[in-house]
Amino acid sequence: MDQIITRFPPSPTGYLHVGGARTALFNWLYARNTGGKFILRIEDTDAVRSTQESVDAIFESLKWLEIDWDDGPYFQTKRYDLYKEYIQNLVDLGHAYYCTCTPEEIDAMREKAKAEGGKPRYDGRCRDKNLPPSDHAVVRLKAPPSGTTVIEDVVKGTIVFQNSELDDYIIQRSDGSPTYNLAVAVDDITMGVNVVLRGDDHVNNTPKQMMIYQALGIDLPVYGHLPMVLGSDKARLSKRHGAMSVSEFRDMGILPDAMLNYLVRLGWSFGDQEFFTRNELIEKFNLKNIGRSAGVFDQNKLLALNGEHIKASNPRDLIKPLRPFMNQRGYDPQDLDTLEKAIGTLLPRSKTLVEMAEGAEFYFTDIASYDEKAVQKCFQSPASDILGRLIQALEPLESFAEADLEHAFKGVMDDMGIGFGKVANPVRVALSGKNVSPGMFEMMGVLGKALALDRLKRAKAFIDAGI
């Protein structure tokens, strides 16, 4: 095969959902793996439901996922002249014809076929009339009257359709507009698409599109129909299972690479490996490892995987994606070195960027109050003396390096005859306001000497005022 050319053709009738994003990802990965081309096409022929807002949302989601396209975006509504040209060509070649049957006549044909135990279908009565174009006439493609149409599907295997069950379907409506299957086939032909990976809800469209290729004497693309994405209850994924829109996962604080990693595992595998970087996916993706079973979407697994991707990240790389979540909480640190250090302390403790922004807040804003349970547990009267001794030990230090801090803490513990927990618990609350936080020395290294000592003194004063 020549250069691999894949495509993703969403309809702009809503947001980009999980199943659509996975389809885009599989096509993008295969193109990137093979050094091929990935095309973006907007199938906007549904004038009633298509909106610019949906188009913008699709672009925004793909750009967040960093799924880039090499060609496009194409819009079907701007390609009507091309479709008309192909429709006329099919008529001229004798593979399509004008039909003037009324909706009532077609309903009667279908009812008759059902009554005779057959499949409801058009009976072809205008097929050989050689009717000219006229108002209210449609154009139908001639289906093969016998034999089979066979899809050699790279995912599902061989799929056979009996041609006797395929009727002469409409390729141009009475208003002159093309139908879905005609537009898709013409687009794929003219764009050179030679690999079509899409959801298995399109299986029944495939023989109709294949008929157009065959009528024009054009080689068929490789077809692969991907299994559905289901909810945890094995029903088709829907809003009741939680977030559906890709943008919702972005707003939850999911990293784009984690989202790609999770989506690809909903129907593709590489041995027992679960964690993949973007580059690993591009390197390893292939068609043979696409599974036939439906993928089950589990948001908890996505969150866990996102935590793994956060943990594996370079703290500096998280500054840009984290900043919107910090802004939502009302703070916007400008010292990038301090922010990078703060992020480094939170990598093992954050499953999402939302959690990280919440966890980082105490580094960059004043502690307005202490957690009530933490106060009851850690700010009892002995804590005042412990903090006082620690302040005295820390004030002379010229360095707040971990080794120096550890030495100072050990001196206080030895002098007072207490264990590490007795010191660590009140210090943790004094520095962060909470009982759960990054490591004590990590926090002090980020806060710096002046701010750390100020917080220890304020906490001692708070305890003393309450005694």
Tell me the per-residue pLDDT of 252-308, one tens digit each, with 9 for 90 and over. 999 999 999 999 999 999 999 999 999 999 999 999 999 999 999 999 999 999 999
Same domain, 192 and 205: yes
Rounded distance between C-alpha atoms, residue 459 and residue 429, angstroms? 8
Rounded distance between C-alpha atoms, residue 278 and residue 280, angstroms? 5
Exposure class string for 158-193: b at 16+ Cβ within 10 A, else e: ebebeeeebbbbbbbeeeeebbbbbbbbbbbbebeb
Same domain, 83 and 221: yes
Identity of the amino acid at 351: K
| Nearest one of 87, 125, 119 to 106, comparing CA atoms | 125
**Strand, coil or helix: 370:** coil
Rounded distance between C-alpha atoms, residue 85 and residue 443, angstroms? 69
**With 70 as the cut, is the pLDDT of residue 239 above it?**
no
pLDDT for the residue 242: 60
Mean pLDDT of the chain: 95
Active site residues: 239
Rounded distance between C-alpha atoms, residue 412 and residue 386, angstroms? 8
Q: Assign 236 a pLDDT band (cuts: 50, 70, 90).
A: confident
Same domain, 87 and 221: yes
Same domain, 186 and 238: no
Residue finishing a domain among 226, 260, 287: 226
Residue 44 sits in which domain range? Answer: 5-76+228-308
Which CATH number fits the domain that encloses residue 375?
A: 1.10.10.350
- What does the angle CA 126 – CA 129 – CA 130 come to, to the nearest 5 degrees? 115
Residue 11, class by beta-carbon neighbours within 10 Å (0-12 exposed, 13-18 middle, 19+ buried)? middle
- For 188-203, what is the mean pLDDT? 97
Q: Which residue has the higher pLDDT, 231 or 418?
A: 418
Is the torsion defined by CA of 176, 177, 178, 179 positive or negative? Answer: negative
pLDDT for the residue 381: 84
- For 4-19, what is the mean pLDDT? 95
> What's CA 201's distance to the chain center, in Å?
19
Rounded distance between C-alpha atoms, residue 405 and residue 441, angstroms? 7
| Nearest one of 466, 313, 463, 465 to 391, comparing CA atoms | 463
Residue finishing a domain among 195, 226, 257: 226
Rounded distance between C-alpha atoms, residue 100 and residue 215, angstroms? 22
Rounded distance between C-alpha atoms, residue 453 and residue 391, angstroms? 7
Which CATH number fits the domain that encloses residue 139?
A: 3.40.50.620
**With 90 as the cut, is the pLDDT of residue 235 above it?**
no
Same domain, 269 and 290: yes
**With 80 as the cut, is the pLDDT of residue 237 above it?**
no
Percent of the chain with pLDDT over 70: 98
Same domain, 56 and 154: no
Looking at 16-30, 113-127, 335-349, which range is the least confident one?
113-127
Same domain, 401 and 447: yes
Same domain, 432 and 388: yes
Is the torsion defined by CA of 265, 268, 271, 276 positive or negative? Answer: negative
Indicate the number of domains in the chain.
Answer: 4
Residue finishing a domain among 286, 308, 330: 308
pLDDT for the residue 164: 87
Q: How many helices (H) and strands (E) does the chain have?
A: 18, 12
**Strand, coil or helix: 391:** helix
| Nearest one of 64, 22, 68, 66 to 249, comparing CA atoms | 64
Q: Diameter of the chain by CA atoms? A: 107
**Confidence (pTM):** 0.93
Q: Which residue has the higher pLDDT, 104 or 113?
A: 104
pLDDT for the residue 467: 60
What tens digit of pLDDT does each residue of 144-193 get?
989 999 999 999 999 999 998 899 999 999 999 999 999 999 999 999 99
Same domain, 297 and 321: no
Same domain, 166 and 234: no
DSSP assignment of 216-243, as one string? Answer: HT-PPPEEEEEPPEE-TTSSBP-GGGS-
Rounded distance between C-alpha atoms, residue 9 and residue 446, angstroms? 48
434 DSSP assignment: S
Same domain, 242 and 184: no
Identity of the amino acid at 194: N
Strands 222-226 and 157-162: unpaired
Same domain, 165 and 255: no
Rounded distance between C-alpha atoms, residue 98 and residue 101, angstroms? 10
Which CATH number fits the domain that encloses residue 327?
A: 1.10.8
317 DSSP assignment: G
What tens digit of pLDDT does each residue of 72-103 get?
999 999 999 999 999 999 999 999 999 999 99
- For 205-230, what is the mean pLDDT? 97
Is the CB of residue 271 less than 8 Å from the CB of residue 205?
no
